[in-house]
Amino acid sequence: MSTTPAAQTYRLIPYGVQAFSDIRQSNLLYIDKTRFIRELENHRYVFLIRPRRFGKTLLLGTLENYYDRKRVDRFETLFGNLDIGQSPTEERNRYIILRLDFSGIDKNLERLERSFEGHIKRKIDFLIEYNKDLFSDSGAQKILEQDRAIDKLDALFGYVHQHDIPLYVLIDEYDNFANVVFTEHGAEAYHEFTHGDGFYRNFFATLKTGASQEGGGIKRLFITGVSPITMDDVTSGFNIGTNISLLSEFNELLGFTEAEVLGMVEEYRDQGVFNQDFETAMGIMREWYNGYRFSEDSATEVYNTDMVLFYLQHSIPNKRGPRRLMDRNVRIDYEKLRHLMWVNQQLNGNFNILKSILEEGSIVEDLVESFPLTELTESPNFVSLLHYFGLLTISGTRVDQVELRIPNRTIADLMYGYLRAAYEEADIFRLDLRTFKHLITQMASSGDWEPVFTFLAKAIEEQSSVRDYIQGEKMIQGFLLAYLNVTTVYMCRSEVELSKGYVDLFLIPTDQLTIHVNFGYIVEVKYLRRRKSLPETTVKKAQEEAATQVKQYLKHYENQQSDSMKFIGIVLVFHGWEMVVCERVHDTTSLL
């Protein structure tokens, strides 16, 4: 039995910890990203979009601690052994900081404005009290006596400019409550406070004045969020500074690189608190958490920060990885996309885009920096939003357009879930998922595969509304993928290159979760266009072609030995929506 080292001998995993000072003053893991501070200083007013759970809040905390004038005596403790601590900039510890966080704003429409106003007022009051040595009694009183938040801001900006006090404004999750209002209350409610004389638009107008005009008062500004929509609606785009979201020099600012993840795992392995197989663990994290690229001019992919810490949190000290590899905290609710895929109670073109991405594996489109809510029905804008949400990532360029793909297994599972939810809500197709998951488990453990496909085929046959969506081989594959991925037993892939061919459906047992998984599957799908009369010879020809391909794929594994894991080859032939062949290719081979 292995002994667990005392907790203080290794750095603990800061999963869920977002406070920079807490991480640095405790025995917690910290990946040094402070080198980017020098590059950030080349831009006075900054706007950064990144998906949820990528470390945006920790980044703002890092900036707050680095620039806050009152934390100069803690600089060595917080930054001394970090990159920026070894060679700090002249800007360090010279600002007063106004840090706003809109994640906690009350989303109830009746309380929304009051909650927003109250948050800003409290933050300004704190700033003045915290830096009271810089404010005269009369100056502080003039700011504090203002009733409205925007008047309080305006008075603050005027005072700091008049007295040459450098002010740094940090805004976290600027669009959080706005996105919730749109999702839960609709476009009209959202439009009310982001346009015209809406309080949120007035806030940004005041902010813009403070940052862009001579004597405005704001020396530096950093805003983060998950989409550019709200910024476009309240300011017609972030036209007071630099949107760094797609710049190559900031591609690795948030998220972990391959080298950083390797370093973490090696550190814990060397300290004796990580005893999983090294290559297996790295393979799992690459499959489930890696693959994000935020600039077409960068070749480096990064891992989602939260997902990696989630895995390590479950693995240390000396435990197996998480049984469920998707961290629920990274989930983007279906409701966030639902309103974008429906018009007049019917699925629209955005749904077809989502379905096409899952069927084809990628999409080529213009990547748009900024767009208002009213233009989300346009394909480039919807696809760009999927990128900003982290559901698509840059994989290459095609002339003047960008090729985007699903970054990893976690996001693929999420998107298949959205597809299933949309099918059900639109009353296109419903499936007893509990029974279906049980059948997949049986398929994995005992090799009883036929009930899985016959159960699905029977459900299709009984629900005529789904048949219009089952046209063409790609649609068949996409539909099967959406439901075969309903569990984490398999990594169900499409168009995997194998033996100089491309497997239609490749059901690979998921690493680390395969204790009771004894069978993997290679499935070849043939589609015959629906017609009144279908000659038996046509079906036979398609069946034989598929069987030949499956045997070719199975040979890839014939020299690999394993008594506990086998691949089974399957042929499916569809006549339109109807499955007319479902057979095993009798050549079972071993799988390592």
pLDDT for 520-532, tens place per residue?
Answer: 899 999 999 988 8
pLDDT for 6 beyond 60: no
DSSP one-letter string for 106-119: ---HHHHHHHHHHH
pLDDT mean over 249-256: 97
Question: What's the chain's average pLDDT?
Answer: 89
Band of pLDDT at residue 589, cut at 50, 70 and 90: very low
Residue that is written with structure tokens 């989930």 in the block: 331
DSSP 167: E
Q: What does the alpha-carbon distance between residue 232 and residue 195 come to, in Å, rounded to a whole number?
A: 10
Band of pLDDT at residue 238, cut at 50, 70 and 90: low
pLDDT mean over 394-403: 90
Report the pLDDT value the prediction gives residue 564, as an integer from 0 to 100.
62
Report the pLDDT value the prediction gives residue 107, as an integer from 0 to 100.
83
pLDDT mean over 556-582: 79
Q: Output Rg (C-alpha) for the chain, integer angstroms.
A: 27
Out of 131-140, 184-193, 343-352, least confident range: 343-352
Q: Could you read off the pLDDT of 159-206 as tens digits, one per residue?
A: 999 999 999 999 999 998 888 888 888 888 888 888 888 899 999 999
Band of pLDDT at residue 333, cut at 50, 70 and 90: low
- The pTM (predicted TM-score) of the whole model is 0.89
Q: Could you read off the pLDDT of 70-118 as tens digits, one per residue?
A: 999 999 999 999 999 999 999 999 999 999 999 988 888 889 999 999 9
Q: Which residue has the higher pLDDT, 198 or 265?
A: 265
Cis peptide leading into residue 317 (ω within 30°): yes
Report the pLDDT value the prediction gives residue 574, as an integer from 0 to 100.
93
Report the pLDDT value the prediction gives residue 344, as an integer from 0 to 100.
60
b/e map 164-186, b = 16+ CB within 10 Å: ebbbbbbbbbbbbbbbbbbbeee
Report the pLDDT value the prediction gives residue 343, as an integer from 0 to 100.
63
Q: What does the alpha-carbon distance between residue 60 and residue 73 come to, in Å, rounded to a whole number?
A: 20
